[in-house]
Amino acid sequence: MTIEATVPETFQGFGIDKPANWNHPKLVQYKRKKINPTDVVVKNIACGLCGSDILTLKADWGTLHRDDAVVGHEIIGHVIAVGDKVTQVKVGDRVGIGAASTSCRSCNRCKHDNEQYCKSGAGTYNSIDKFSDDYITQGGYSSHSIANEQFVFPIPESLDTVHAAPLMCAGLTVYSPLVRSLGTDATGKTVGIIGIGGLGHLALQFANALGAKVVAFSRSSSKKEQAIKLGAHEFVATGEEKDWNKKYDDAFDLILNCASGVDGLALEDYLSVLKVDRKFISVGLPPATKKFEVSPFTFLHQGASFGSSLLGSKTEALQMLELAAEKGVKPWVEEVQLGEEGCHEALTRCDKGDIRYRFVFTGFDKAFA
Amino acid sequence: MTIEATVPETFQGFGIDKPANWNHPKLVQYKRKKINPTDVVVKNIACGLCGSDILTLKADWGTLHRDDAVVGHEIIGHVIAVGDKVTQVKVGDRVGIGAASTSCRSCNRCKHDNEQYCKSGAGTYNSIDKFSDDYITQGGYSSHSIANEQFVFPIPESLDTVHAAPLMCAGLTVYSPLVRSLGTDATGKTVGIIGIGGLGHLALQFANALGAKVVAFSRSSSKKEQAIKLGAHEFVATGEEKDWNKKYDDAFDLILNCASGVDGLALEDYLSVLKVDRKFISVGLPPATKKFEVSPFTFLHQGASFGSSLLGSKTEALQMLELAAEKGVKPWVEEVQLGEEGCHEALTRCDKGDIRYRFVFTGFDKAFA
């Protein structure tokens, strides 16, 4: 059967027309993008809700490019068709797609396990796909997704679909900076994780699974018990323990900020407890206009650096999935029936922080019956 | 002869009483610090003028702790006495002392080639030396200096004293981040150096000597010819070539900021031309109150980091001196007779930027006759 016969021309999804309706997605139909020879077509069965979805829908990260904008980039589904040149997956495979969906695959970055940083690449939604006639990409709150095979990750059999979904963005986003700073065996290293939320609750688990000593940072002690359960060896309530940094002199090989707010984050305190030549990496992203103020002096005494990190490579995604399967890393999820009502409720609650720690939409067959 | 018989109890130097007199040092006499078993006593013969001297004298980096404050931390001299436990240098050696003069030598940092980051360490001037009864240290615009042997660097015979002096602070400050980011063989790597001044003119030479491709950045093209002579392979006048960053896509393994101002520095442009997972390191330090504003987004697209770096270790200092001797790295210096007049003139001119690229005080015998 040809691809054209297998894959519908029109996909369905839950989309919004304008930022004011950010938490009121409606059922929409849209023409799918063309299928390139290295593309994989997936019939979706689950999709996690990522904080980026809300920031995009509200246009806090820039313009919304469609009036039927569908978000979602923690997608799990089954491959239903592949382009002629696809070699990495086959029809029937259960796979995931994260926040990036294509790249040039020929630049220096693409050739060296940094395809997520390709300057010609496209995000999974609200992004211009140069390799598909400038199609504006659509996310996974939808019936189907199409991505270049480099961005399609086979899911190990032992991982449940609902647990695999949040690994596609949140998981990979924290896993990549962890292994780039600590290596795949972090025994003897100490890592600090700031913020126990969608990203942080996975960072705690992965840092522990990699063998590091893990210290969780949160404003209050309300999440202490959960943090310990998630893999933290120590817990610091920075708002309740004013001199906490005195306890951690020259202690950290990495501090990973998973909190999305920058207000009141005591960057200088965190930098003061790093070992020499180490990094503070922020993967929690605030609205684009919010800034940290930093003086070179802040960094001087530890030779410290402040940076960020974008997703992870396919190589890292496969390592991560293997580690999750082996060590039982599992997002804490709340399942939600995909639909107008479910999208509304989950987006609204997530925006208020009323979630521990990830919504995953399921029931796609029913939603698109 | 005992140390007490060899080393005078009182040293002489050119010091100031208060920040308002920053460029009017007067001849002062002061009691030297005690000599510890691992200390080395040096009779000074030359001292470079570092931008830090001015920032300290003006109290731009914090309080001036003495009313006879002597600065200077690019010191060259001859060893005239050593403590009982000194093993690394001997009386008669020509040595240098940089911006740090002691540390605990027992902490993790001291034991792993990061003694300059020791949290108990002391700077060469205006710093509290915990290992010498909280003596407030005095710099090298003076007859003698005393430092822990770990901070005393033998000078290779082929290096002239006036050329060795600026390597003690400026040289080491740029050499350390270069080798920590690029390794000691930087062949095939590309480094950007911002600011052609006291630090930058040495960074260009060392980056070239390490084998890197070197791109010099300056606001105007006025220093282009000099930058090329110093070792730059390419030159960018950022104020004259508005889209310069388009030419350097995915190009840099390191960008080293040697400019002391942060105003108008287009941090985002520089970060945009880094390869993935690379650093922008600022060794040029502005007054403590000046800040960069950064958003995590700025760093995201390259997985970039912003950081700083403090001096270098003794291991790096010895490597640097060897490389300088081998490859002919030479600061461009203007010699100045040490004295009240010379200090006044050199400090005033340096503050105005009227120097290419380093003043070195000499004539110490005459100054302290």
User: Can you give the pLDDT at residue A153?
Assistant: 98
Same domain, residue pair B130 and B177:
no
Shortest distance, CA A188 to any CA of chain B (angstroms): 14
On chain A, the residues whose CB falls within 8 A of the CB of B308 are 296-300, 303-304
C-beta atoms of B295 and A299 within 8 A = no
pLDDT digits (tens, 9 = 90+) for B314-358: 999 999 999 999 999 999 999 999 999 999 999 999 999 999 899
B191 and B337, same domain (yes or no): no
Per-residue confidence at A264, pLDDT binned at 50, 70, 90?
low
CA distances from A92 to A82, A155, A188 (A): 10, 12, 42
Nearest to B303 among A290, A296, A308 (CB): A308
Please, is A273 exposed, middle or buried when counting C-beta atoms within 10 Å of its C-beta (0-12, 13-18, 19+)? buried
Query: How many helices and strands, by DSSP H and E, does chain A display?
Result: 12, 20
One domain, residues B142 and B19: yes
pLDDT (mean) for A41-67: 95
Contact (CB, 8 A) for B154 and B94: yes
From B283, B308, B333, the end of a domain falls on B308
Rg of the Cα atoms in chain A = 20
Q: Which residues in chain B have their CB less than 8 angstroms from residue A275's CB?
A: 108
> CATH number of the domain that B40 lies in?
3.90.180.10
For residues A203 and A84, membership in a common domain is answered with: no
In this predicted model, what pLDDT tens digit does every residue of A92-129 receive, in sequence order?
999 999 999 999 999 999 999 999 999 999 999 999 99
Measured in degrees and rounded to the nearest 5, phi and psi for residue B158 equal: -75, -5
pLDDT digits (tens, 9 = 90+) for B108-165: 999 999 999 999 999 999 999 999 999 999 999 999 999 999 999 999 999 999 999 9
Domain boundary, last residue among B287, B308, B329: B308
Specify whether A327 is located in the same domain as A347. Answer: yes
pLDDT at B290 over 80: no
Q: For residues A223-236, give the mean pLDDT.
A: 97
Question: Residue B1 — pLDDT band, cuts 50, 70, 90?
Answer: low
Residue B292 and residue A297: Cβ atoms within 8 Å?
no
Chain B residues near residue A279 by CB distance under 8 angstroms: 305, 307
**Can you tell me the ipTM of this complex?**
0.92
Question: Which of B61, B127, B274, B309 should we substitute to test contact with A (largest number of A Cβ atoms within 10 Å)?
Answer: B309
Query: Inter-chain contact B299–A279, Cβ cutoff 8 Å?
Result: no
The pLDDT-based confidence of B292 (bands split at 50, 70, 90) is confident
User: Is the model's pLDDT at B228 over the cut of 90?
Assistant: yes
Backbone angles phi, psi at B20, to 5 degrees: -60, -25
User: What does the pLDDT look like over B16-41, one tens digit per residue?
Assistant: 999 999 999 999 999 999 999 999 99
Looking at the fold, whether A245 and A352 belong to one and the same domain comes out as: no
Structure tokens at B264: 């108008």
Which one of B108, B174, B252, B305 would you mutate to disrupt binding with A, by most A Cβ within 10 Å of its Cβ? B305
Q: Are strands B252-257 and B190-194 parallel, antiparallel or unpaired?
A: parallel
Answer whether B293 sits within 8 Å of A292, measured CB to CB: yes
pLDDT at residue A5, rounded to an integer: 74
Q: Do the beta carbons of residue B177 and residue B309 sit within 8 Å?
A: yes
Q: Which of B265, B270, B295, B315 to mutate to test the interface with A (most CBs of A within 10 A)?
A: B295
* Contact yes or no for A117 and B276 at CB 8 A: yes
Residue B210 has pLDDT above 80, yes or no: yes
Nearest to B305 among A279, A295, A302 (CB): A279
For residue B309, give the nearest of A297, A298, A303 by CB distance.
Answer: A303
Helix (H) or strand (E) holding A148: strand A144-148
Do A297 and A328 lie in one domain? The reply is no
Closest CA in chain B for residue A110: B276
Q: Give the number of domains in chain A.
A: 2
Chain A and chain B share a number of CB contacts under 8 A equal to 126
Judge: B310–A291 Cβ closer than 8 Å, yes or no.
no
Q: For A301, which of B107, B276, B310 is closest by C-beta distance?
A: B310
Q: Do B119 and A285 touch (CB under 8 A)?
A: no
Q: Could you tell me which residues of chain A have a Cβ less than 8 Å from any Cβ in chain B?
A: 107-109, 114, 117, 119, 180, 249-250, 262, 275-277, 279, 281-282, 284-286, 288-310
**Residues spanned by the domain of A151:** 3-169+312-367
Give pLDDT tens digits for B66-117: 999 999 999 999 999 999 999 999 999 999 999 999 999 999 999 999 999 9
At residue B144, the 3 state secondary structure works out as strand
Q: Which of B12, B28, B5 is nearest to B81 (CA)?
A: B5
Statement to judge: residues A94 and A242 lie in one domain: no
Q: Which residues 6+ apart lie within 8 Å of B134 measured at CB? A: B128
Whether omega before B357 lies within 30 degrees of 0, making that bond cis, reads yes
A276/B114 CB distance under 8 A: yes
**pLDDT at residue B264 in the model:** 66
Percentage with pLDDT > 90 across chain B: 88
A150 and A290 co-located in one domain: no
- Looking at every residue in chain B, the average pLDDT score rounds to 94
How many CB atoms within 10 Å of residue B140?
Answer: 34
Judge contact between A231 and A214, C-beta under 8 A: yes
With contact defined as beta carbons under 8 Å apart, do B100 and B129 qualify? no
CATH number of the domain bearing residue A298: 3.40.50.720
Give the gap in angstroms from C-alpha B131 to the nearest C-alpha of chain A. 20
Chain B positions touching chain A (beta carbons under 8 Å): 107-109, 114, 117, 119, 180, 249-250, 262, 275-277, 279, 281-282, 284-286, 288-310
Measuring CA to CA, which residue among A327, A324, A320, A348 is closest to residue A336?
Answer: A348
Which chain B residue has the Cα nearest residue A273? B119
So what's the pLDDT on residue A1?
Answer: 58
| Distance (Å) from the alpha carbon of A65 to chain B's nearest alpha carbon | 20
Residues A97 and A188 in one domain: no
Would the CB atoms of A250 and B294 count as touching at under 8 Å?
no
pLDDT band for position A3 (cuts 50, 70, 90): confident
Alpha carbon B116 to chain centroid, angstroms: 12
A163 and A36, same structural domain? Answer: yes
More confidently predicted of A288 and A79: A79
Q: Has residue A263 got a pLDDT over 70?
A: no
What confidence score (pLDDT) does residue B5 get?
73
Position B284 pLDDT exceeds 90? no
Per CB-CB distance under 8 Å, the chain B contacts of A310 are: 300-301, 303
Q: Which of A242-246, A342-346, B199-203 has the lowest average pLDDT?
A: A242-246
Average pLDDT, chain A: 94
Across the interface, whether the CB atoms of A306 and B306 are under 8 A apart is answered yes
What value does the mean pLDDT take over residues B260-278?
Answer: 84
Statement to judge: residues A132 and A264 lie in one domain: no
Considering only the C-alpha atoms of chain A, give the largest distance between any 2 of them, rounded to a whole number of Å. 67
pLDDT computed for residue A92 by the predictor: 97
